[in-house]
Structure 1
Amino acid sequence: MLARRAVALAALAITLTGCSAKHHPAGPGATPGAPDPTTLVAGPSSPAPPAAPPSAAPPAAGLTTITYTQAATGFPADPDQASTVPLTEGLQVREKQPVYDGVGGTARAYLTPQISGVNLVMPVVARQDGWVAVLLPSMNRSIGWLPPGGWSTTPLRDQIVVHRGAYTLTWLRDGQAQQTWTVTVGASATETPLGRTFVLGRSALPSKVYAGLDVLALGAVPDDKKAVASGLADAHTGIHAWYRNEFGYRKSNGCVRMPPAAQKTLLDNIGSGTSVVVLP
């Protein structure tokens, strides 16, 4: 696990409108075959203007700001937490901004452009009526909604898929598997959290057990914080190298331990916002 100090990190519904012609019997003196002047003639159909996105309610006073150690409550669960469909957009807010529990819903917390000194890029998981849903940091398998404006997006090409039972980590680019490695995952008491998360950023840790390579800190945190050592109370899950050649086990505090050469490959290719899916 990675302690806090380790991270330097509508659909437009188009409705066709128009009136159908309603015909009346011809009046007295009407010329046979001539148009009835009382007939309503349908004009050309035209699309209705697009509906405005649902407005964002002002946030209540006293909302918390999501940080590396501070989570929030009231957000919905990720409805597709086991999906391996690549997430191809990352979102970053331009300034401190409230995040909501649904489209046009209630603001539950604030997001900031950076978290612990690194740019916070969150994968986009859904769009609806101009709003976007993103995976949230510091809480597992949760999403939040943002109204239009106040943010920008960037393409995401990479994805990491971990299979706990098979002890494998696969790196994919543009949906195509690049390499797969045998890894060690969390022990039974401190399992690597299941579901979708993402790479917060990379950081350097002083311990030699990381083989002198940076760590990829993830947005996920321990499912049972009481199960980890007190020094890891504010920890996040990470992907890091391991100094011993022991892989294919359940032995870590929740992190994914990689062979050093494999970790170097990830560090050379994986950026902030990259989605990570942990499967049973």
Structure 2
Amino acid sequence: MSSPLRTRRLWIVLAACCVLAALVGAVVRWGSAGPAPRAASSAPTTATVPTSAPPTTPAAVPPPAGLPVITYDPAPKGFPADPEPAGRTRTAEGLHPKSNLGVYDAPGGTPLAFLAPTILGVPVTVPIVARSAGWVAVLLPSANRTIAWTPPGDWDVTPLRDQIVVHKGSHTLEWYRDDALMRSWPVTLGAKATPTPLGRTFVLGRSSLVGDVYAGTDVFALGAIPDDPEAVPAGLRGAHIGIHTWYNDYTLGKDDTDGCVRLTKSGQQLLLKEIVPGTSVVVVD
């Protein structure tokens, strides 16, 4: 004969089984009949996930035919300042215009000038320093610490491997290739009245100058111009800042030029063999 405790437990188990059977039956009946009809509603029954539209390239206003063309003379005003004038990141690409290229003050902004394929017969390659919605920003020639924007168009991209860094404090020029230091040299920099301009610029091209003072080697003309053009001797007004050697090395490590960077003859000869137009040059304190 079962004890009262066993009898009580048996009744609890039987009751639980009945409840479980009732629940299973209800679920089966609900699934076969479907849920109870709901009142009609105009609201969607599922959440809509918002999607962001792909970025679009701002349209470029056609540049008027009468805009000035950037030459060796100071560039037109109105272009934005370089956002990273002392940036040490190597610019790995250069832009070469294949025809007169409109340059703007912002993506989709106002065209202010044309950038030509050549300046004084020298092919132009300008470093690309930023990209935004299909537009590219380049360092502007014949201006200091200034950029210009241009849309996709009639231009080529050239890879750039080198960078030149000039340290005013130590009077040192460093040459980097693929971000590795290759060589360094002591240099002469601008005198107090005609300092070497700080900031990013680039190798615009090379030219041959007559006379023995340049030690018989070509000169690199940079995109930069004197910060105070009136301070340089009258015969040099309108000239760009350059990198070149000199007929002697007496002033290396000093401030003695009209803004240019002077280095040894052997250093200049090596750079002339290795450095291409568009290579970035940054002058830092």
The answer to whether TM tops 0.5 is yes
Partner residue in 1 for 2:209: 205
The letter for the 1-side match of 2:212 is: K
The letter for the 1-side match of 2:114 is: Y
Distance change in 2, residues 1:178/1:34 (3 Å): farther
Partner residue in 1 for 2:34: 32
Question: 2:253 is paired with a residue of what secondary structure?
Answer: coil
Partner residue in 2 for 1:23: none
1:86-165 matched pairs, under 5 angstroms: 86-165=90-169
C-alpha distance in 2 between matches for 1:34 and 1:132? 61
Partner residue in 1 for 2:71: 67
Match of 2:269 among 260, 264, 267: 264
Identity %: 53
The letter for the 2-side match of 1:53 is: T
Match of 1:255 among 251, 255, 260: 260
C-alpha distance in 1 between matches for 2:243 and 2:197? 12
The letter for the 2-side match of 1:110 is: F
User: Given that residues 74 and 225 in structure 2 are in contact (C-alpha distance below 8 angstroms), is that contact kept between their aligned partners in structure 1?
Assistant: no
C-alpha distance in 1 between matches for 2:33 and 2:270? 87
Partner residue in 1 for 2:9: none
Partner residue in 2 for 1:196: 200
The letter for the 1-side match of 2:228 is: D
Instruction: Determine whether 1:279 maps to 2:284.
Output: yes
C-alpha distance in 2 between matches for 1:268 and 1:256? 18
Partner residue in 1 for 2:29: none
Question: 1:83 is paired with a residue of what secondary structure?
Answer: coil
Shift of the alpha carbon at 1:48?
Answer: 6.1
Partner residue in 2 for 1:175: 179
C-alpha distance in 1 between matches for 2:53 and 2:207? 49
TM-score w.r.t. length of structure 1: 0.84
Partner residue in 2 for 1:236: 240
Partner residue in 2 for 1:224: 228
Shift of the alpha carbon at 1:46?
Answer: 10
User: Given that residues 93 and 157 in structure 2 are in contact (C-alpha distance below 8 angstroms), is that contact kept between their aligned partners in structure 1?
Assistant: yes
C-alpha distance in 1 between matches for 2:122 and 2:70? 14
Shift of the alpha carbon at 1:50?
Answer: 2.8
Instruction: Determine whether 1:185 maps to 2:189.
Output: yes
Question: 2:271 is paired with a residue of what secondary structure?
Answer: helix
- What is the root-mean-square deviation of aligned Cα atoms in Å? 2.2
The letter for the 1-side match of 2:90 is: P
| Structure 2: stretches of 5+ with no match in the other structure | 1-31
TM-score w.r.t. length of structure 2: 0.82
| Structure 1: stretches of 5+ with no match in the other structure | 1-29
Shift of the alpha carbon at 1:65?
Answer: 0.7
Partner residue in 1 for 2:24: none
C-alpha distance in 1 between matches for 2:123 and 2:51? 41
> How many residues get paired?
251
C-alpha distance in 1 between matches for 2:270 and 2:106? 38
Higher-Rg member (1/2): 2
The letter for the 2-side match of 1:31 is: A
C-alpha distance in 1 between matches for 2:195 and 2:134? 37
C-alpha distance in 1 between matches for 2:36 and 2:180? 68
C-alpha distance in 1 between matches for 2:208 and 2:51? 56
1:26-59 deviations in Å (ceiling 9; x for gaps): xxxx9326999x8967699897663430001122
